Amino acid sequence: MSNYQARLGLYIAGEWLGPEGRATQDVLDPATGQVNAALPLATAADLDTALDAADRGFKAWRVTAPEARAALLMKAAVLLRERAGDLGRIATLEQGKPFDEAKGEALYAAALLDFHAAEGLRVYGRVLQRPSGTRSLVLHQPIGPVAAFCAWNFPIMNVVRKIAPALAAGCSIIIKPSEETAGSACEVMRCFQDAGIPGDVAQCVFGVPDQVSRHLLASPVTRKLSFTGSVPVGKHLAKLAAETLMATTMELGGHGPVMVFDDCDLDRTLDTLVATKFRNAGQVCIAPTRFHVQRGVYDAFAAGFAERTRALKVGSGLEKGVQMGPMANARRPDAIAAMVEDARSIGARVLAGGGERASGGGFFYEPTVLADVPLTARAMNDEPFGPLALLNPFDTVDEAIAEANRLPYGLAAYCFTENGRRQNRLGDEIEAGMVAINNVRLSWVDSPFGGVKDSGYGSEDGPEGVKAHLVTKTVHMT
Ligand code: NAD
């Protein structure tokens, strides 16, 4: 992108602010490790300007007709679709995922906008009839300015998933996306700007994450925190938010258990699971991670999984036919290498990958499959967030459920069995916000997305996503 550098900036009160007088941070290409551009970081004064604007923007936007708000969101969706190719190229350049995945992410983000635009029209109240003939009214009103922080793994979609429900509900928002994928976020903001959404309603800043979050969360202007990222950062931010008792939505990490039973359709199960495991180089909060396979099909499953994994084409996401790109930053391959070494040292068998950096330069790590991984291995307890599949056998459904529920995470779980009674039991007893049975699709614009336990609380998407940006008021009329 020839003008990539020029298009990076802070979007505050409708103005694009560049590096003049501000510290900067390099944005890298993970396929090469080279610098793409320098990103300006917000000063404390910039954040105060953004807070003042968010306060102003909220006062006007909350009384804007829902139909007018919906029309602007749908216009932004049209622009996202028109620009999906450019957005996809930028996302690949700074995050590494294959171009088709990145373009698909932009199209999904457009669908999210359309859904939320319509959902914003369906905020209904309630009338309570009283014996005397008087009434009480139950009203749902926008909660106020939102501070949102999101991670680099879906650099387009994560940003839209925060902004769409806030704006549909009538809130203003200041978002701090990941500095590492700033170009994608800036292009998303241009879609909102070009659609005519007021510049004090949707704003975007970058900075030193801890400084930005402390500043925005300490302000009385901010009434809601929405965060997508790791469990430790989520817990830290929830404590900051507790100081002002603001509402919070926490979309945190996971450690997706997959339960594969003897009666599944093995080839179909393997095809979908291998593709899903290594999508976005495994850097997905709902990624399938721990594969618990019933003993009767364990060996066949392990052999089929390893064979399919070895056949994956790894390389730059801009190269045609590449199925897995580099990891998003230099921290991730090191983290995965340490987990693999730890598991191997206590007896795990390496069936595929396991150490060689798959390509010259950049932040690559081979797609890796480990079998017979002791439960004490770090990878069996901490979220790998990378191209690492962990395989272990089980015998009974009780054992599978106990293992699925063993960890404090509770985001996504997957089950493969043709037995209807067992499907119901798994759906009921697995401690997760989302369970997929005989499929791997957990994200739909109209269904709530979120976790339980350490994976967070509150839902995004579906009607629940808009509700999370509303407060309830009761008006008693005599
Ligand atoms: P990290 O926890 O350092 O950062 C995750 C994100 O949170 C980044 O975008 C970062 O800018 C932001 N962040 C960090 N500290 C913050 C603060 N004090 N205030 C506001 N924002 C802050 O982790 P990482 O090394 O970038 O990524 C690895 C871990 O992140 C993984 O283990 C995974 O659990 C988690 N992660 C989860 C998701 C998800 O969708 N749930 C997405 C990306 C990363």
Alpha carbons within 13 angstroms on the beta-carbon side of residue 144 total 16
DSSP state of 461: S
Same domain, 344 and 206: no
| CB distance 216 to ligand 1 below 6 Å | no
Minimum CA distance residue for ligand 1 atom 35: 230
Same domain, 117 and 215: yes
Ligand 1 pocket, residue 455 CB under 6 Å: no
Ligand 1 centroid, distance to 150 Cα (angstroms): 7
How far is the centre of ligand 1, averaged over its atoms, from the C-alpha of 40 (Å)?
A: 20
Find the 421 Cα to ligand 1 centroid distance in Å.
38
Residue 309 lies inside a defined structural domain of this protein:
yes
Residue 111 shares a structural domain with residue 211? yes
Q: From the CB of 46, is ligand 1 less than 6 Å away?
A: no
Task: Kindly state whether residue 30 falls inside one of the protein's structural domains.
Answer: yes
User: Mind listing the pLDDT tens digit for each residue in 378-401?
Assistant: 999 999 999 999 999 999 999 999
Verify that 364 and 318 share a domain, yes or no. Answer: yes
Co-location of 438 and 470 in the same domain: no
- In a shared domain, residues 462 and 341: no
Domain that holds residue 344: 256-444
Residue 63: exposure state from Cβ atoms within 10 A (0-12, 13-18, ≥19): exposed
- Residues 88 and 153 reside in one and the same domain: yes
Contact between residue 475 and residue 139 where contact means Cβ atoms under 8 Å apart: yes
Check which CATH number belongs to the domain holding 261 and give it. Answer: 3.40.309.10
Q: What residue's CA is closest to ligand 1, atom 5?
A: 229
* Ligand 1 and 229: CB distance under 6 A: yes
Which ligand 1 atom is nearest residue 251's CA?
Answer: 41
**246 and 266 together in one domain:** no
Q: Which amino acid is at 64?
A: T
Residue ID of nearest Cα to ligand 1 atom 6? 151
Q: Which residues are identified as catalytic?
A: 251, 285
Could you give the number of structural domains in the chain? 2
CA distances from 290 to 190, 403, 412, 414 (A): 39, 9, 11, 10
Q: Is 443 close to ligand 1, i.e. is its CB under 6 Å away?
A: no
pLDDT in tens, the chain (478 residues): 558 888 999 999 999 999 999 999 999 999 999 999 999 999 999 999 999 999 999 999 999 999 999 999 999 999 999 999 999 999 999 999 999 999 999 999 999 999 999 999 999 999 999 988 899 999 999 999 999 999 999 999 999 999 999 999 999 999 999 999 999 999 999 999 999 999 999 999 999 999 999 999 999 999 999 999 999 999 999 999 999 999 999 999 999 999 999 999 999 999 999 999 999 999 999 999 999 999 999 999 999 999 999 999 999 999 999 999 999 999 999 999 999 999 999 999 999 999 766 556 799 999 999 999 999 999 999 999 999 999 999 999 999 999 999 999 999 999 999 999 999 999 999 999 999 999 999 999 999 999 999 999 999 999 999 999 999 999 999 8
Distance 66 CA to ligand 1 centre (A): 33
CATH number reported for the structural domain that contains residue 198 in this entry: 3.40.605.10
In this structure, the residue with its CA closest to atom 37 of ligand 1 is 229
181 CA distance to ligand 1 middle (Å): 12
Distance CA 150, CA 226 (A): 8
237 shares its domain with 265 = no
Q: Are residues 157 and 304 in the same domain?
A: no
Residues 381 and 469 in one domain: no
Same domain assignment for residues 301 and 438: yes
Instruction: Give the contacts of 359 (CB within 8 A, at least 6 positions apart).
Output: 314, 315, 316, 326
460 CB near ligand 1 (under 6 Å): no
* Domain presence at residue 449: no
